[in-house]
Structure 1
């Protein structure tokens, strides 16, 4: 058994990583402390304190009491879940096709895709396409928007090229077609890259604000990130609808706007942060786990 020795380089690396972690962890905990503090005592919080003053859920109750917030949250979940699943499927199937050695015109296709990746279309062109497809103010506009990211497609291609040819040939000898190869060989062996690009897609779709504010115009089809900006940046007090009754029932005279902002930001962060512990546990296993060796 190898002996682990604490060396100066390891100590410095650990110190740097700890400091980097604190720069992200402390602000999040400070937001949580403000969100959980009692409105009458939140002024006692100074700087980046991470312990709430007077524990209370009133800020979360006020934000979530507005039906618009709940609707926006469900819209964001729908766009993220459905959009990510479709993006993973079509990215993987495109990567499978592009990694076949018998594919004709492979080089021109790759050049075309790289040009698309470098020279992205402008917002006016994208808006006109969405309009012509009759998808304006539809959640499907954000589900289908940039369904395949060329950069993630190239990453997926690099992983699929590592699948042994002997595995593919053995399946073909048994009579497997392309869809059988894709669903029963490629997909199971690509679990790690699928989770990786899936996480990238999910984060991008969950955090998409600019295009959502352009393609989605009605309150019914708004998403959480758009609502978050209206409330936090523009100080739109729509989220305070129904707050009077809650304040009366909890014997609270007045709400603190900074605490409400913190609660809204936490609500927007939690769903996407829940992905990381689910996905990271799979990174310790190899891509070819269960496959054959050359």
Structure 2
């Protein structure tokens, strides 16, 4: 028992150390974002308390239409894209996992080929251009509406549901749509929550294709704005030579960068605890009586 307790303590200490390596930089950015103008140079990489508390950085960020517009664009892309992803992926998983039809093996083989050999950027760009989706948020929402790898994951969840439950539903007169909506979907909440988190994080962090397909700054998602401001250190709105922030108001460029990063991170941190409750075991316990 002592050896077991000692190993647990060592594991907990190791996990705590890994947690600190992630948490300390995040808390430092948060403190830097609330640091008063003119005092950002006093902050070091391990400081967790602002040097003179001030909300000016967030007031400047939320007063800028490029930032607020980017937040709204990212929210719309994430919500609409994730909903479409889950709907199409779950329907395809139901058809492939719980039904037999002619050509099923050929379809599965085709999906595996798509997963292994993805099309290149040039054919994808030409397709988006030909169907008239350039400079639209729809091009980002429709991209990878069904991820084949996630499709196979959800198929495993559907296949794990006992056949006796579906057979009982068929005896009661349930059709495919009712079994899909009333049985498979509720019993697969952990899998749907997992894929929803994966799809949502992907859409929220999307910036590469947005830079290719969207040219109007007013349609940029938040990650593109973040890249222009933080990575490229571009203090212009890229609309002519207009400054991104009012130069008459004193501010620290580093503090504004930190505030922009925090704004981009917080929604995912807030969403995660609500999804975590669906990671529950034993959802099928008691569903089948032998």
TM-score by length of 1: 0.92
Q: Give structure 2 stretches of 5+ with no counterpart.
A: 238-242
Deviation at 1:6, TM superposition (A): 6.3
Paired residues for 1:183-202 under 5 Å: 183-202=181-200
Residue in 1 that maps onto 2:39: 41
CA contact (8 A) 2:115 2:148 kept: yes
> Matches of 1:150 and 1:100 in 2, distance apart?
17
> Matches of 1:62 and 1:223 in 2, distance apart?
18
Instruction: Work out the number of aligned pairs and report it.
Output: 285
> Matches of 2:101 and 2:10 in 1, distance apart?
50
In the alignment, structure 1 residue 267 sits paired with structure 2 residue 263 = yes
Aligned partner of 1:67 among 65, 68, 72: 65
Q: Give structure 1 stretches of 5+ with no counterpart.
A: 248-253
Aligned partner of 2:284 among 282, 288, 292: 288
Residue in 2 that maps onto 1:234: 232
CA contact (8 A) 1:65 1:241 kept: no
RMSD across aligned C-alpha pairs, in angstroms?
1.8
> Matches of 1:105 and 1:116 in 2, distance apart?
17
Residue deviations 1:6-58 (CA, integer Å, cap 9, x gap): 61211111011111111110010000010001012222212221111100011
Aligned partner of 2:167 among 160, 169, 174: 169
CA contact (8 A) 1:80 1:202 kept: yes
Deviation at 1:5, TM superposition (A): 9.0
Residues 72, 293 of structure 1: alpha-carbon distance in 2 compared, 3 angstrom cutoff: farther
Residues 148, 290 of structure 1: alpha-carbon distance in 2 compared, 3 angstrom cutoff: farther
> Matches of 2:287 and 2:140 in 1, distance apart?
37
CA contact (8 A) 2:25 2:45 kept: no
CA contact (8 A) 1:189 1:289 kept: no
> Matches of 1:102 and 1:34 in 2, distance apart?
58
> Matches of 2:251 and 2:144 in 1, distance apart?
40
Residues 219, 182 of structure 1: alpha-carbon distance in 2 compared, 3 angstrom cutoff: same
> Matches of 1:269 and 1:202 in 2, distance apart?
13
Deviation at 1:285, TM superposition (A): 4.1
Residue in 1 that maps onto 2:240: none
Tell me the SS of whatever aligns to 1:187: helix
